A and B are shown apart, each in its own frame.
Chain A
Amino acid sequence: MSGPRRAAPGGRARVLLGLLLALLMLLPFVVNPYLLSVLTLILYLAYVGQAWNVMMGFAGQLSLGHSLYVGLGAYVSAALFVHYGVPPALGFLAAILVALVFGAAIGFLAFRFGVSGVYFALLTIAFAEFTRIGFDHFDWVGGSGGFFLKVAQRDYNDLVNLRGSPEMFYYLLLAMTAGCFLLCHRLMQSRIGFYWLAIREDQEAAQAVGIDVFRYKMLAVMLSAALASLAGVFTAFFNNNLFPFQIFGIEKSIEIILGPIIGGLGTLFGPILGAFVLTVLAEGLRGTMEALGVVLPGVKQVFYGICLLFVIMFLPHGIWPSLRRRLGLDSDGGR
C-alpha cells in the first residue's frame, strides 16, 4: 500500500540517485580493468533494459525480439563507418532512423490488424529471426562470416569516431543510461506516460477515456526501438566485430528482458537494479567455477533461468518494488 503522497520520498530518491551517479563516475579511478568491464556490462544491460521497459513495462507491449533493433543499430552505424567513413557521431542518426522504420512497420502491422498479446510477441521474434537470416546472407556487411571494424589503438579518446579507452566507453554508456533514465522519468510524469499505463492496464477502457490507442502504442514501440538502436551503435564500436547469430539471436533478446523483469517491470529503477543483480551474480558464479576448475558450458543460461524462477516465485513484481518500500521511497521516485 502506498501511503499519502509526500514530498519527502521524492527528495530522498533524488539524493540517493545523485550519490549512485557520483559513485559510478568515480569507480573507474579505483577499479581494475576486469571490474571496469563488468561495470560496462552492467550499464549496457541497464540501458537496453530501460529501452525495452518503455514498450513492455510502460505500454504493456511484449517484444521478444528486441535484439532486432540493437543489431540494426550496430550494423547500420558500423557499415557507414567502414564503407563510407561516416563517424558514429553522425551514423547514430541513421541507426535510429532504420530502427524507427522497422519499429513502425512491426507496430503498424500488429496494431492495425489487431495482433496482440502472445501473437504480437511471436511477430517480434519473427522479425528478429528473418532479419538475422537476411544478414547471414548480406555479403556487403560480411554475411555470416562477420563484420569487423579496424581496431586502431590510439593514445587519445575520440568520441566522434568512438575509438578510445575502455574508460571512454564506460563514461559514454553511463551518460546514455542516465539520459535514458531521465527521459523515462520525464515521460512518466507527462500525459504520454499516464496514457501508456492506461493502455497497459485496459485498452478498451483507455479508448473510452479518449486515448488514441494506436498512436500511443506506435509511439512506445518507436521510442523503444530508437533507444535500443543506440545500444547497438555502442556494441559495434566497443566490440569491433559483429556476427548476425550473436547480435540478432533470441538469446540476446532474452538477455535484454531479464534485467527489467528481475528488477521490476514498469518501474524506472528496476531495469538498472536488475542488470546489476544479474550481472554480479553471473560473474560471481563464473569466477567461482573458474577457481574450482569446473567447466560447464551453458551454466550461465541455467543460472539465469533459476534467478528468473526465484523472482517470479517470491517477488512477482520484481526486486525494486519491495526494496523501494523498505527504503521508504514509496509513492514517488519509483515508478
Chain B
Amino acid sequence: MALLEVRGLSKSFRGLKAVQDVSFDVTEGEILALIGPNGAGKTTCFNLIAGVFAPDQGSVRLGGMDITGLRPDQVCRAGIGRTFQIVKPFQQLSVEENVIVGALNRLHDVGAARERAREILEMLGLAAKRALPAASLTLPERKCLEVARAMATGPKLLLLDEVMAGLRPTETDHMVGVFRRLNEETGLTILLIEHVMRAVMALAGRIVVLHHGETIAEGGPGEVVRDPAVLECYLGEEAL
C-alpha cells in the first residue's frame, strides 16, 4: 500500500519551473531514493511534501489523508519527519535537549520525552555526547543529530535531504547501516535525496530520477543505472 502518494506536483518560482508534474508513490516500509543533477528540483520536491511551500498544482497524500498545503508543523504532526540539507541543530541546547524537542511532538511530558530521546541517541550511537551543546559537534555528528531529532518526532515517513554529503566513506557506511537497521527493525519508511551513489545503491529499493523538474526514470537500482536517459544527464556514460 502506498504510504505517500505524490500526484502531479508542480511549482514555479518567478517563471522558473522548479518541479513539473512529478508523481510517485512511496510504499509502506520501503526506501525510495530521489536522485538527479543539481537543480533538478529534488529539494523543492521535499519542501513541497514537507509543507515549506504550497504547490501550484498537484497533491500530496499521506496514508490516504490529503496533506497538500499544510504548514510544516502540521505535516510533521501528520507523520513526516525531515532533515535539512544544511543541518539546523538548536545550537545552544544540548544534544539530548535537541532530541527531547523532537520527542515532545508525540509525548507531552518532558520526562517521557527525555527517555525516548535517550533511546534514540543510543540507537544512533550519540549517547556519549548527549550532555554536550549541539554547537560543539563535528559535521558527521550533527548530521546524525539531525536524523535523531527527526526520528524522535515519531514519523511514519522520514525525509532525508543529503545526509551523506560531506561524510567520509566509512562514515557513509555507518549511516547506511543505521538506516538499514531502522528500516528493518522498526519498518520505518524512508524517502531520501542523495548524490552519494554508494549510499543510494546500498539503501534504495527503488529510485526516482528527476531532471529539469520532471521525472525521467523510475525503477529498481539495477535498471535505473542502466537507463540511457539517466546516464546521459546525470551519472555519465562512464558510470558503467
Contact A206–B76 (Cβ < 8 Å): no
| A5 and B77 alpha carbons, distance in the complex (Å) | 30
A200 to chain B: closest CB distance in Å? 8
Residue contact A198 to B84, C-beta cutoff 8 Å? no
Report, as a range, how many residues of chain B touch the other chain: 20 to 34
Task: Report whether B101 and A208 are in contact in the complex, using a CB–CB cutoff of 8 Å.
Answer: no
Q: Per-residue 0/1 for B53-91: is the Cβ within 8 Å of any A Cβ (1 yes, 0 no)?
A: 000000000000000000111001100011010001111
Query: Counting CB contacts under 8 A, is B163 at the interface?
Result: no
CA distance A269 to B218 in the complex (A): 58
Per a CB cutoff under 8 Å, which of A1, A4, A197, A208 touches B97?
A197
The residue that B76 contacts in the complex, of A3, A197, A209, with Cβ under 8 A, is A209
Tell yes or no: B123 within 8 A of A by CB.
Answer: no
Interface mask (A46-66 → B, CB under 8 Å = 1, otherwise 0) = 000000000000000000000
Nearest CB to that of A201 among chain B residues?
Answer: B90
Known A-B contacts A2-B131, A194-B110, A202-B90; the reply to A209 vs B101 at CB < 8 A is yes
Given that A191-B108, A195-B101, A213-B73 are contacting pairs, would A205 and B131 also be in contact in the complex, using a CB cutoff of 8 Å?
A: no
What's the Cα separation between A211 and B77 when bound, in Å?
9
Say yes or no: B82 contacts A208, CB within 8 Å: yes
Asked whether B82 lies within 8 Å of A206 as measured between CB atoms, the reply is: no
**Assembled-state Cα–Cα distance A207/B81 (Å):** 11
Q: Which residues of B contact A211 (CB under 8 A)?
A: 73, 101
Instruction: Decide if B102 is an interface residue (CB 8 Å cutoff).
Output: yes
Q: What residue of chain A has the Cβ atom nearest to residue B105's Cβ?
A: A210
Nearest residue in B to A216 (C-beta to C-beta)?
B73
Q: How far is the CB of A105 from chain B (nearest CB, A)?
A: 22
Interface presence of B225 (CB below 8 A): no
Name the A residues within 8 Å of B152 (CB-CB).
209
Contact partner of B131 (CB less than 8 A), chosen from A5, A201, A204, A209, is A5
Minimum Cβ distance to chain A for residue B6 (Å):
19
Are A190 and B76 interface neighbours, CB within 8 A? no
A193 to chain B, nearest CB (A): 8
* Chain B, residue nearest A190 (CB): B110
> In the complex, what distance in Å separates the CA atom of A206 from the CA atom of B84?
12
Residues on B with C-beta less than 8 A from A210 are 73, 76-77, 102, 105, 153
A-B CB pair tally, cutoff 8 Å: 86
CB pair A202–B131 under 8 Å, yes or no, is no
Judged by a CB distance under 8 angstroms, whether A331 is at the interface is yes
| Residue ID in chain B nearest A3 by CB atoms | B131
CA distance A5 to B96 in the complex (A): 11
Are B50 and A208 touching (Cβ within 8 A)?
yes
Query: Known: A197-B93, A209-B101, A210-B153. Contact between A204 and B73, CB under 8 A?
Result: no
* B132 interface residue per 8 A CB criterion: yes
- Measured CB to CB, the nearest residue on chain B to A211 is B73
Query: Are A204 and B88 closer than 8 Å at their CB atoms?
Result: yes
Q: Which residues of B contact A194 (CB under 8 A)?
A: 97, 100-101, 104, 110, 113
State A27–B106 Cα separation when bound (angstroms). 48
B132 neighbours in A (Cβ, 8 Å): 1
**Given the interface contacts A2-B94, A197-B90, A201-B93, does A207 sit within 8 Å of B73 by beta carbon?**
yes
What does the 1/0 interface line of A70-93 toward B look like (CB < 8 Å)? 000000000000000000000000
**A and B contact pairs by CB, cutoff 8 A, 20 listed:** A4-B131, A189-B110, A191-B113, A194-B100, A195-B104, A201-B90, A201-B93, A202-B89, A205-B89, A206-B90, A206-B101, A207-B72, A207-B76, A208-B76, A208-B81, A209-B76, A209-B81, A209-B105, A212-B71, A213-B73
